[in-house]
Structure 1
Amino acid sequence: MKAIVFPDVEQTTVQDVDRPSCGPDDVLVKVVSAGICGTDLHIFRGEYMSSFPLTPGHEFHGEVVEVGDRVQRFRVGDRVTVDPNLYCGKCENCLNQHFNHCLNMDIIGVNRSGAFAEYVVAPERACYALPAQMSAKQATFVEPLACVVYALQRMHVNPADRVLIVGVGPMGLLLVQALRHSGASLIAVMDKQPHRLEMAQSMGANAAVVANDQQDKNLKALSPQGFDVVIDATGVPAVIENAFRYLKPRGQFLQFGVAPIGQTIQISPYDIFRNDWKIIGSFALCYTFQPAIDWLANGVIDVEPLVSHCVPLDDFAEALDMFARGQTLKVHLDIGSS
């Protein structure tokens, strides 16, 4: 089968590789489409937990083409999406329902072969049936939206809170839509790109600020005492460090964007103490696929405008480069058909 392979850091090729075999508890999925994610870019640059060679890809959906002998819930022809985080269910963290911190975690597209390929294999327990009416774009957004659902479970937006989202790429735009239903009185967004800010406002943001030398003044005009909730959706350390300036006392800071492993920021412990700040991390997801499917199926979250490019597998290298340069929103690889 055809697959994208990262042979090493900052190397990508299209190769013919062996089609994965289906174990007794597994489902073999013919990939229909897969989304390029910021995590894939970190993997490509050697900034994440992956080793090489690797076939990446963890946001995807497809059609079941083979099932193992012990599989009960799925049949050939079913449309599915797959939670790429494969928890062992036996370690101390799993037994405490901290599945996304499993001590024996396998992650499709991160430390085992992923979905930038014609076929991918996954355990039955990680597969989710898709509603018949769900579009391909919606189905490929289940995993990223599940990360947003988990992030909102990690924090708590109080009635009339003022929220600032820093960075409105595809994930930031999902956060805008999700937070629109949270009870916040103000959802402000900040980004360098005016067209992304315009899209954020069309999706429910109340105010938009261009990231430039006037941003401090403009944000202060919106919320003079700071924001109750500040969310970083960039993963850029310098941006993260600066974002604490906009957090009011007793505020919550959510680190949602993925920063490169090993990079650091400076923050004053006294400021954390004096301001009663709550700093929250949000790693991946934790059994939040079904809520994401329900949101999409019922039209609560609109993802169709977030897909700026759909490209074939052979054009992956060019698409990844455009994505890295900020010239796209979400890029979907069209790999097969269902």
Structure 2
Amino acid sequence: MRALTVDLARAGSLTLSELPDPEPGPDELLVEGLAIGICGTDREIVRGEFGVGRRLVIGHESLGRVISGPGFAPGDLVAGVVRRPDPVPCPACARGEFDMCLNGQYTERGITDLDGYGSTLWTVPAAYAVGVSSSTGVLVEPASVVVKAWERLDRLALFGFESVLVTGAGPIGLLAALIGVQRGLDVHVFDLAADGPKPALVESLGATYHRTLPDHRIVIEATGAPSVVAQVLGRDLVCLTGVPSTEVVPVDLGQVNRDLVLHNGIVFGTVNANVRHYREASAVLDRADDAWLQSMITRRVPLESYAEAFETRPGDVKVVLEL
């Protein structure tokens, strides 16, 4: 099979390799790899900024077609779950909540100690595969992260809410806005882009696009920009989904503390997802307009041109590498 591999000990080592075809176990699916989504984590791995040690097949945002295995029919489209529980297990993993692993000994396909889905063939335990209905199923993994964010917001927003602010109109921000619109909420999205696809994607969704930060008490932060995070920290309920850059900004922690205490505020972070989040993410995509989802994918790159998929270009929202 062909596979995209990196040597985690060397920056810039991304290459298209020939590897032995995988042999599925009795509880595993054999899957034809169709596509992977490319995100910031993938680019960090390629630059040598993340990971330790060995050769790794990259790719954690997956889409494939079942060849054989239990629980699915040949030809079914599936996405693979990324994280696996740690072997100890910690209290969270022992309860099946491996996305909340407490000791950090989890493994992750294409990220941490497990080969990913960036190959023309891959295997996955049937219990860690989720059915999808179209080629936009490659968005299930980022959508699962947002589903988890909304699940936690529901638990923490004791008196409910009618509007939400999403900061950032990248894939995570747009998918967060999609779920808010599906829930019938008044959704506002903040991003700095004045042109390109982002404003149109937000507006065609039925949300309101802003280039200056509006004042809302419920925030899903999806930029990872410290300067934006600093401005929303004192809001009533803030979910952080973005991984921050190295930008350093001054923050009045005393004022943040005062605002959180006096407003009974909550700030929490979320990353990764459980199997139930993937299943709900698949349902979210099924309810969405497929043309809108397709328009989120601003570049589809063939496998032979794989290096181009890891470039950051103006106008990119979501880049997908076709396997």
Pair in the same fold by TM > 0.5 = yes
The reply on whether 1:190 has 2:191 as its aligned counterpart is: yes
Residue 79 of structure 1: which of 74, 77, 80 is its match?
A: 77
Partner AA of 2:171 in structure 1: P
What is the deviation of 1:248?
A: 5.5
Are positions 1:245 and 2:231 aligned together? yes
Deviations 1:97-139 (A, max 9, x none): 4321335422111121112111112112101233xxx221x22
Look up the match of 2:258: 274
CA distance 1:159–1:56, shift in 2 (3 Å): same
- Aligned-pair CA distance for 1:88: 4.9
- Matched residues in 1 for 2:254 and 2:205: separation? 37
Give, in angstroms, the shift of residue 246 of structure 1.
Answer: 4.4
Unaligned 5+ segments in structure 1 are 210-214
Provide, for residues 164-221 of structure 1, a one-character-per-residue CA deviation record: whole Å limited to 9, x for no partner: 3222122221111112234544513222352212321221222321xxxxx4xxx4xx
Aligned to 1:330: 318
Tell me if the contact between 1:319 and 1:331 (Cα under 8 Å) persists in the aligned partners: yes
Q: State the Cα deviation string for residues 203-246 of structure 1 (Å, max 9, x = none).
A: 1222321xxxxx4xxx4xxx5xx3212332122xxx23443324
Quote the Cα distance in structure 2 between the aligned partners of 1:186 and 1:2: 42
Aligned length: 306
Percent identical among aligned pairs is 26
Which consecutive unaligned segments of at least 5 residues does structure 2 have?
none
How many Å separate the matches in 2 of 1:116 and 1:267?
A: 40
Residue identity in the other structure for 2:297: V
Does the CA-based 8 Å contact 1:43-1:50 persist in structure 2? Answer: no
1:97-112 aligned at under 5 Å gives the runs: 97-102=96-101, 103=103, 104-111=105-112, 112=114
The AA in structure 2 aligned to 1:122 is: V
**SS of aligned partner of 1:155:** helix
CA distance in 1, matches of 2:248, 2:108: 25
Contact 2:35 2:138 in 1 (8 A): yes
Match of 1:63 among 52, 62, 65: 65
- Which residue number corresponds to residue 167 of structure 2? 166
* Contact 2:179–2:284 (CA under 8 A) maintained in structure 1: no
Out of 127, 136, 139, the position equivalent to 2:137 is: 139
User: Is contact 1:63–1:78 with CA below 8 Å preserved after alignment?
Assistant: yes
1:203 and 1:77, CA in 2 relative to 1: closer, same or farther beyond 3 A? closer
- Looking at structure 2, the residues matched to 97 and 265 of structure 1 have their Cα atoms a distance apart, in angstroms, of 38
Residue equivalent to 1:154: 152
Work out which of the residue numbers 216, 221, 224 in structure 2 matches 1:227.
216
Amino acid at match of 1:41: R
**CA RMSD between the two structures:** 2.6
Matched with 2:14 is 12
C-alpha deviation, 1:314, in angstroms: 1.5
Q: Judging changes above 3 Å, is the alpha-carbon distance between structure 1 residues 183 and 296 closer, same or farther for their aligned structure 2 residues?
A: closer
Amino acid in structure 2 at the alignment position of 1:4 = L
Partner of 1:40: 42
Any conservation in 1 of the 2:36–2:61 contact (CA below 8 Å)? yes
One-letter code aligned to 1:94: C
Distance 2:150 2:317 in 1: 22
In 1, distance between residues paired with 2:76 and 2:238? 41
- Residue number in structure 2 paired with 1:212: none
The AA in structure 2 aligned to 1:255 is L
Give the match's secondary structure for 1:194.
Answer: coil
TM-score (norm 2): 0.84
Q: What letter corresponds to residue 85 of structure 2 in structure 1?
A: Y
For 2:210, the equivalent position in structure 1 comes to 208
Cα distance in structure 2, aligned partners of 1:15 and 1:154: 40
